[in-house]
């Protein structure tokens, strides 16, 4: 009996010592003094998934991101790019996030005029070599802007290529953030630009034939052609939104670029289709607002 009582006493002492070391009791009571955790003290806030102030930016995409036709006819002008440009007139996303000196050192533009979604995986592979904290994506207009409606990129292929680009990014940089801009409303651009005689002459050089060809034609065939192109753009935008939504560190612009009403002041004075310098500035505003807004 004495041995059993002695064993129970030892067990009680050991149990108390273990619970005291663990800093809690069997029913979740207060921690031991000195542990820094007090009863009722709130848990530390988790690190946000989205950083509204990334320290580096890489851009991928097409002629809109290269500043095509913003400074001179049929010419790239990357210094006025909405994503990474250095122009004070644009105040690009990179400059707004990093400052002028920071943008010069820690932003990179991998966009290529004429690029389609099939080109995005390759651009993304080049972008990840810089290990950017934020990658901007604006691509898709050239997939709809083909010689004919039949030549437009199928929606399934568009989705597969975009997913491949995202997979390329995630394999190399699992925590990089992505901002995805919607494809602009091409039919609205046609409606604005068709009022300018010079613009229509430039269109004949091969700018978006599926939408802009025979710009003044309003017959049933032309109307159906433009409606078909417009529907394809809407389908592309749905793909961009869905693929982005499946990625925890991706933000879609919620259709802001598509819905933006580019006026004559926001269109190139050479082709009346691509964004002008002012149009680039508007795109930079949209991007900065979406990247920096706080969401649940």
Residue 77 belongs to domain with CATH number: 3.40.50.1110
Residue 45 placed within a domain: no
Residue 13 placed within a domain: no
Residue 43 placed within a domain: no
**76 and 26 in contact (C-beta within 8 Å)?**
no
Residue 132 placed within a domain: yes
Q: pLDDT per residue over 110-132, tens digit each? A: 999 999 999 999 999 999 999 99
Residue 27 placed within a domain: no
**57 and 103 in contact (C-beta within 8 Å)?**
yes
Residue 48 placed within a domain: no
Q: pTM score, two decimals?
A: 0.83
What single DSSP character describes residue 213? T
**66 and 109 in contact (C-beta within 8 Å)?**
yes
pLDDT at residue 42, as a whole number: 57
Across the range 134-140, mean pLDDT stands at: 98
Across the range 91-108, mean pLDDT stands at: 98
Give the length of the chain.
296
Residue 241 placed within a domain: yes
Checking if the pLDDT of 17 tops 50, the result is no
Grouping H, G, I as helix, E, B as strand and the rest as coil, residue 87 is: coil
Checking if the pLDDT of 97 tops 80, the result is yes
Residue 121 placed within a domain: yes
**78 and 85 in contact (C-beta within 8 Å)?**
yes
> How many domains does the chain fold into?
1
Q: Range of 186's domain?
A: 57-292
- The model's confidence at residue 206, banded by pLDDT at 50, 70 and 90, is confident
Among 4-13, 38-47, 224-233, the range of highest mean pLDDT? 224-233
Checking if the pLDDT of 108 tops 90, the result is yes
């Amino acid at each position: 009996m004495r041995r059993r009582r002695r064993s129970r006493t030892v067990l009680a002492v050991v149990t108390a010592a273990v619970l005291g070391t663990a800093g809690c009791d069997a029913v979740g009571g207060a921690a031991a003094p000195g542990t820094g955790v007090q009863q009722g003290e709130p848990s530390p806030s988790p690190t946000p998934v989205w950083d509204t102030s990334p320290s580096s930016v890489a851009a991928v995409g097409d002629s809109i991101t290269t500043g095509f036709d913003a400074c001179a006819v049929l010419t790239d002008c990357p210094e006025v790019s909405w994503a990474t440009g250095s122009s004070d007139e644009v105040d690009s996303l990179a400059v707004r996030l990093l400052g002028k000196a920071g943008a010069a050192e820690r932003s990179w533009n991998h966009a290529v005029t004429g690029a389609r979604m099939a080109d995005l995986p390759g651009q993304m592979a080049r972008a990840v070599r810089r290990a950017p904290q934020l990658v901007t994506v604006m691509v898709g207009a050239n997939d709809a802007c083909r010689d004919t409606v039949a030549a437009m990129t199928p929606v399934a292929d568009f989705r597969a290529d975009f997913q491949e680009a995202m997979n390329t990014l995630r394999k190399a940089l699992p925590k990089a953030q992505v901002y995805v801009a919607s494809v602009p409303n091409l039919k609205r651009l046609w409606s604005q630009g068709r009022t300018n005689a010079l613009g229509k002459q430039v269109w004949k050089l091969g700018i978006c034939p599926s939408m802009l060809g025979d710009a003044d034609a309003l017959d049933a065939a032309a109307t159906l052609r433009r409606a078909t192109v417009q529907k394809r753009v809407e389908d592309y935008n749905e793909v961009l939104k869905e693929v982005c939504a499946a990625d925890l560190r991706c933000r879609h612009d919620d259709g802001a670029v598509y819905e933006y009403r580019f006026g004559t002041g926001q269109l190139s004075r050479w082709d009346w289709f691509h964004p002008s310098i002012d149009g680039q500035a508007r795109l930079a505003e949209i991007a900065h607002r979406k990247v920096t807004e706080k969401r649940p």
